[in-house]
Structures are given as C-alpha cells and as structure tokens.
C-alpha cells in the first residue's frame, strides 16, 4: 500500500491510497486512525468489519470510525474470460480518502451507528462529488482538495444521518438545494449499505465482476441482457444478485458511473454536449435532466461551481480549527 498526502490541515487530511495487494493475499487487521470518508476510485475489494462482509467497487464509499478495527480482503480473483477485471484490476485498488478531525466530524452531527455503517453503495451524488475531489487533487478544477472533501463528507452525512445535521454557519448556502445538508435521512440507509452481507461469496464475486465491466463500458450502450451475459446469468437472476450484493441495481450503477465520469469531464472544462456523449448518454436533454436531479444544478452551473467559485466555497465551508 502506498499513500500520498494531498492536503493536510488541522481539520482534514486528504490521502491518495494505491493498494498493491494481489488476489489471495492474506488479510490483516488494521485500525482507522481518524473518522474518514474514502471514495473508491478504481478496482474492487472486500471489507470485513464488525462481523460483516461488504463489497466495494468503483464509486463506493468506505466509511471509517476512529479506532475501529477492519480488514481489507482481496479475493475477487480475475475473470475467467479476462474482461471483467482485466489489467486495471491487476494494477491494484485506488481510493481518495478524506480523514476528519474529531471536531470536524462532530459538525456533521452523526451518531456512532452512522459512522459504523462500513460502506455506502455507489450513489449518483457521491459519485459526482468523488470525481470532483479527484479533479481537485489533480489540480484541474478551481475547487480545493479540502473543499471537495468537506462537500463529500457532508453529502455522506445527509444520506445516512440518523438525526438532523449541524453544519458550519453559511455552509449550506454555498450549495444548491438538492445538495445542501439540511436534509435528514433514517438508519434504513445503513441497512441498504450492508445488504451485500447476505450474499454468498460466489454471488458477490459475480456482482463485482459485473460492476467492473459496467464501469469500464459505461460510455457505450449497456443493457441488462448484455451485463448479465458477462457473468453468465439470466437477466432476472442477475438483477436480483447484483442488487442484493451491492445495494443498487445494474442500471443505477451504470447511471452513477456515467454521472461520475461526466462530473470529471465538466471539471476539466469539457463542453456540456461533449460531456454528455463521452459519458455514454445518448440524449443531451436526458443528460442535463439526470445530472441536475443528482447534483441539484445543471451541468453548466456545476462547471461554474467547480472552476470559478473556489473563494466562495472557501469562505462558506470554513470549519472550526483545533485548539
């Protein structure tokens, strides 16, 4: 495992993790050093945490509670036909990790149960913000790495929080309504995130292989029949298996993969039209509508937020510093 510090302050540490573990390597116990929200950028792996098994694929969030023990498991192996994992999986898994100070984590207003959710399945809004964080890390957007990390952490909190959030003064006003953190949700989200624990190991591996294939081909025409054929299942069986293992349907995962790619392209300055078709959307109006539903703003406004409003976000997302 190699790690690179992308940002370090008294409130947030951003790290780029690149894992060199191979399928079959023995897992070992590790402990979370901080509260953390980590975006899986590439690859797939298993998580053993508090007696449960979770599967993570590109777009998933790995959630850490300071001091808790966990194990990362790399037993997915390689696809027999060589396509589902392919060379990318052999290169290792990659995560963009945002680690919060206790004071910073406390402003999110989450209970211990929320921090112990383990993982969150790929979600349209977190996919967009995860890619925004990656663009910030690479310096291709006006948003800072710390700002992107705080946005992702706030979105996670609004999705799984079991009580109303308390955010820094002015922070919510920096975001559009659909992405502001004044929403509440229930602990049922945690049950969704842990749904994969009831699947067999073989089913989980098939679902992960399919998810990797979908992500790699999201820019093309992908339907349920084609994805099911990749793992040699009927569409009906595949739909049930995928949803049970990963917590989302194949189509939901496809759209979220496309939205994540679109957010990256927009942050890098691509036009809305080029972004839509490059990300796999066949209809421009459908892309704009889908993106706006997920992000709370149309693509052009998101691009403006990413490239031109850094100073505003810096001021409005200011968090108390450690004493």
Q: Which residue bears the tokens 């820094």?
A: 168
Read off the pLDDT band of 179 (50, 70, 90). very low
Number of domains making up the chain:
1
| Nearest of 278, 259, 275, 248 to residue 129 by alpha carbon | 259
Its sign, for the CA torsion 109, 15, 131, 71, is: negative
> What are the backbone dihedrals phi and psi of residue 281, each rounded to the nearest 5 degrees, phi first?
-80, 135
3-class SS string, 230-256: HCCCCHHHHHHHHHHHHCCCHHHHHHH
- H helices present in the chain, as ranges: 86-90, 102-106, 112-115, 124-137, 145-160, 188-193, 201-216, 224-230, 235-246, 250-267, 272-278, 284-295, 299-308, 310-316
Asked, for residue 12, whether it belongs to a domain, the answer is yes
Q: What is the CATH number of the domain that holds 75?
A: 2.60.120.10
* pLDDT digit string, tens, across residues 213-228: 999 999 999 988 899 9
Asked, for residue 231, whether it belongs to a domain, the answer is yes
Q: For the chain, what percent of residues have pLDDT higher than 70? A: 78
Say whether pLDDT at 188 is over 80: no
Q: pLDDT at position 320, please?
A: 42
Q: Are 267 and 207 in contact (CB under 8 A)?
A: no
Read off the pLDDT band of 88 (50, 70, 90). very low
Q: Are 259 and 291 in contact (CB under 8 A)?
A: yes
Q: Are 108 and 172 in contact (CB under 8 A)?
A: no
Q: pLDDT at position 78, please?
A: 44
Q: Are 313 and 148 in contact (CB under 8 A)?
A: no
Beta-bridge mates of residue 15: 5, 97
| Nearest of 268, 22, 314 to residue 148 by alpha carbon | 314
DSSP three-state, residue 150: helix
Say whether pLDDT at 197 is over 60: no
| Nearest of 209, 253, 199 to residue 231 by alpha carbon | 209
How far apart CA 270 and CA 289 sit, in angstroms, is 18
Model confidence, pTM: 0.67
Asked, for residue 251, whether it belongs to a domain, the answer is yes
Asked, for residue 291, whether it belongs to a domain, the answer is yes
Asked, for residue 86, whether it belongs to a domain, the answer is no
Read off the pLDDT band of 315 (50, 70, 90). low
Asked, for residue 71, whether it belongs to a domain, the answer is yes
Asked, for residue 323, whether it belongs to a domain, the answer is no
State the residue range of the domain holding 297.
Answer: 2-81+92-316
| Nearest of 55, 139, 66, 68 to residue 105 by alpha carbon | 66
Lowest average pLDDT, out of 49-63, 86-100, 226-240, goes to 86-100
Sheet with 69-73, edge to edge strand ranges? 30-31, 69-73, 44-49, 52-57
**If you average pLDDT over residues 292-317, what whole number do you get?**
74
Lowest average pLDDT, out of 181-190, 249-258, 270-279, goes to 181-190
| Nearest of 30, 23, 32 to residue 15 by alpha carbon | 32
Asked, for residue 322, whether it belongs to a domain, the answer is no
């Amino acid at each position: 495992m190699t790690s690179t510090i992308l940002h370090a302050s008294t409130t947030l540490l951003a790290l780029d993790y690149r894992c060199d573990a191979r399928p079959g390597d023995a897992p070992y116990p590790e402990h979370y050093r901080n509260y953390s929200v980590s975006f899986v950028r590439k690859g797939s792996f298993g998580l053993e945490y508090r007696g449960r098994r979770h599967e993570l694929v590109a777009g998933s969030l790995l959630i850490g509670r300071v001091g808790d023990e966990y194990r990362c498991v790399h037993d997915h192996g390689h696809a027999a036909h060589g396509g589902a994992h392919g060379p990318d999986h052999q290169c290792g898994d990659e995560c963009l990790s945002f680690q919060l100070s206790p004071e910073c984590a406390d402003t999110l207003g989450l209970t211990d149960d929320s921090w112990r959710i383990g993982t969150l399945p790929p979600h349209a809004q977190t996919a967009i913000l995860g890619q925004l964080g990656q663009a910030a890390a690479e310096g291709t957007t006006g948003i800072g790495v710390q700002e992107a990390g705080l946005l992702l952490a706030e979105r996670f909190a609004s999705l799984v929080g079991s009580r109303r959030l308390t955010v820094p003064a002015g922070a919510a006003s920096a975001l559009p309504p659909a992405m502001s953190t004044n929403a509440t949700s229930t602990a049922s989200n945690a049950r969704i995130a842990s749904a994969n624990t009831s699947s067999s190991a073989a089913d989980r591996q098939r679902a992960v292989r399919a998810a990797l294939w979908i992500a790699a081909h999201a820019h093309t025409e992908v339907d349920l029949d084609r994805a099911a054929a990749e793992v040699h299942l009927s569409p009906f069986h595949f739909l049930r298996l995928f949803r049970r293992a990963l917590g989302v349907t194949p189509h939901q995962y496809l759209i979220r993969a496309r939205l994540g790619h679109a957010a990256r392209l927009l942050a890098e300055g691509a036009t809305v039209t080029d972004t839509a078709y490059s990300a796999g959307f066949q209809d421009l109006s459908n892309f704009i509508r889908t993106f706006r539903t997920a992000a709370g703003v149309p693509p052009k406004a998101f691009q403006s937020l990413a490239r031109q409003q850094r100073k505003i976000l810096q001021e409005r997302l200011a968090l108390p510093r450690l004493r």
